Amino acid sequence: MTATRLLAEAAGPPPLSPAKLAVLALLWLVTVWRLPTAVRAPRTRALWTAFAGVTVLVTLGLPAVTRWVDATSGVHNLVVLIKHLIGLVACKATLTFAAETARPDLADRLRRPHRVVLLTAWAALIVSFSLLDQPTEVVDFYQAYPGSVAAACYALIVAGYLGASMAVGSWLFTTYARRAATRSLRCGLWVLALGTGAGFGYSVLRVCQILLNLADRPMFLAAGVLYAIEWSAIALVLLGSLIPTIGVAARGLRDWRTARRLAPLWSALTTAVPEVVLTARLGRGPRVRLHRLVIEIRDAALVLAPYADASHAEGPHVDADDALSEARWLRLACARRLAGHTPAHPVTAAPGTSFEELDFATETDRLLRLATAYASPAAARAQ
């Protein structure tokens, strides 16, 4: 996923454009933002590791940072090796995240062999890098050693690891996107699949460049095109990872607004029937609060039903399509209960209308209409 940056050049591309700097700033923002969640929830750590890895890779690609690392270490192009070692970890985290999201059973089977492959690739990179004669810093690491077998092996290890991980990740995201529960999750997974697919395409082009360089032949694409594909993959993966989060935030805002609209009705009914209010602490999320409001409004209406006249004694489902009619008898029932009247009829819930059998969205819409009617002057005259 976000490991597409792991093939970036040492001192590489020209200084970052404003758009690329914006992507880098977003990467740091997401990495810092997700850190507390990664500490608390082990299942989110793979995604955070992938983001942290790509963030470090992009940061190390800044010319000033590259020069400082190499000058401090005294080893030419050491930043290339550091970036690729981190990149392999980010690549592994990407594949782990994709497997845990789409195929948890596959994630368990992949964990140990993938760790062995990662350590083997690390060792091979270090050996290949040490065999290279690097008397100076280079701008383009992949084209700086034409005809060098060690350089070609080094680059092929990186490109091959990236390509395999991105191909599997794209397949997993595509598979899961077809059965994702929410629209935002489906959209995010499709964008992730597109981003990892672009990462796979980038790795294939890098392999072509490596082989052509080994044969002392020019690459058929300009370096700028490769960088554009690389950064497009990073941007797509970043976007795909954020879309589900934005969807969750939008649903939370919608639930909060709905709960706020239902609150006056809930307050009025539970003032008359305080015993239906749940005392257990079930969390503060807007979805949980909305569920509690709906449940308690329905329970209060059932308790109040016997306090209304005989034609409304069956409970809140009578005249369910006539919100004003229901609001009127609820107001009347509340007034009678608060005045100390004795209920004239036992509570009898309508058959087949248990909360578990209801469509929650439909019931919420009904209660919103009821809340509006309950607050209207026409309903207030019922008292």
Q: Each residue of 228-262: pLDDT tens digit?
A: 998 899 889 889 988 988 998 899 999 999 999 99
> In Å, what is the CA distance from 139 to each residue of 14, 80, 113, 146?
10, 11, 35, 14
Q: Which of 363, 357, 375, 360 is nearest to 320 (CA)?
A: 363
Report yes or no on 281 lying in a domain. yes
CA 177 distance to own-chain centroid:
13
Q: 37-46, 78-87, 132-141 — which one is most confidently predicted on average?
A: 78-87
Do 274 and 340 belong together in one domain? yes
Confidence of residue 341 (pLDDT cuts 50, 70, 90): confident
User: Same domain for 176 and 305?
Assistant: no
Crossing angle of helices 78-102 and 63-73, in 10° steps, is 120
CA separation for the pair 223, 109 (Å, rounded) = 38
- Most confident segment among 150-164, 281-295, 333-347: 150-164
Mean pLDDT of 171-189: 90
Residue 311 has pLDDT above 90, yes or no: no
Tell me which of 145-154, 280-289, 294-303 is least confident.
280-289
Band the pLDDT of 11: cuts 50, 70, 90: very low
Q: Calculate the dihedral angle through the C-alpha atoms of 366, 370, 373, 379, rounding to the nearest 10 degrees.
A: 140
Q: How far apart are CA 219 and CA 90, in angstroms?
A: 27
DSSP code for 305: G
Asked if residue 288 and residue 174 are part of one domain, the reply reads: no
Is 243 inside any structural domain? no
pLDDT over 90 for what percent of the chain? 36
Average pLDDT over residues 282-288: 75
Q: How confident is the model at residue 123 (pLDDT cuts 50, 70, 90)?
A: very high
Residue 22 has pLDDT above 90, yes or no: no
Residue 5 has pLDDT above 70, yes or no: no
Q: Is 179 contained in some domain?
A: yes
272 and 208 part of one domain: no
Please tell me whether residue 151 adopts helix, strand or coil conformation: helix
Main-chain phi, psi angles of 248, to 5 degrees? -65, -45
CB 236 within 8 A of CB 169: no
142 occurs within a structural domain: yes
Q: Which of 197, 220, 243 represents a domain boundary (last residue)?
A: 220
Its sign, for the CA torsion 340, 345, 350, 353, is positive
Question: Does residue 249 sit within a domain?
Answer: no
Model confidence at 340, in pLDDT bands (50, 70, 90)?
confident
Residue 205 belongs to what domain range? 2-220
pLDDT at position 220, please?
86
Is residue 14's pLDDT more than 60?
no
82 and 165 in a single domain? The answer is yes
Q: Is residue 322's pLDDT more than 70?
A: yes
Q: Which residue has the tokens 């209010």?
A: 277
**Alpha-carbon torsion (186, 188, 191, 192), positive or negative:** negative
Is 255 a member of any domain? Answer: no
Last residue of a domain, one of 220, 252, 277: 220
Residue 233 falls within a domain, yes or no?
A: no
Same domain, 347 and 198: no
pLDDT class for 141, splitting at 50, 70, 90? confident
| Domain identity same for 325 and 212 | no
Question: 318 pLDDT exceeds 70?
Answer: no
Torsion of CA 346, 351, 355, 360, to 10 degrees: -130
Q: Would 83 be classed as within a structural domain?
A: yes
Res 349 pLDDT > 90: no
Is 135 in the same domain as 22? Answer: yes
Asked whether residue 23 falls in the same domain as residue 109, the answer is yes
> Total structural domains in the chain?
2
Q: Which pLDDT band holds residue 143 (cuts at 50, 70, 90)?
A: confident
pLDDT band at 346 (very low <50, low <70, confident <90, very high): low
- Looking at the predicted structure, is the pLDDT value of residue 316 above 90? no
**Whether residue 18 has pLDDT greater than 70:** yes
Pick the last residue of a domain from 157, 190, 220. 220
pLDDT number for residue 345: 62
* Residue 333 sits in the same domain as residue 207: no
Q: How confident is the model at residue 323 (pLDDT cuts 50, 70, 90)?
A: confident
pLDDT band (50, 70, 90) for residue 17: confident
- 188-217 pLDDT, tens digit per residue, is 999 999 999 999 999 999 999 889 888 888
Kindly state whether residues 208 and 310 are assigned to the same domain.
no
Tell me the HSE value of 222 on the side-chain side, using a 13 A CA sphere: 4
pLDDT band at residue 135 using 50, 70 and 90 as cut-offs:
confident
Of 265 and 103, which is predicted with more confidence?
265
| Residue 288 identity | V
Same domain, 282 and 144: no
Asked if residue 133 lies in contact with residue 169, where contact means CB atoms within 8 angstroms, the answer is no
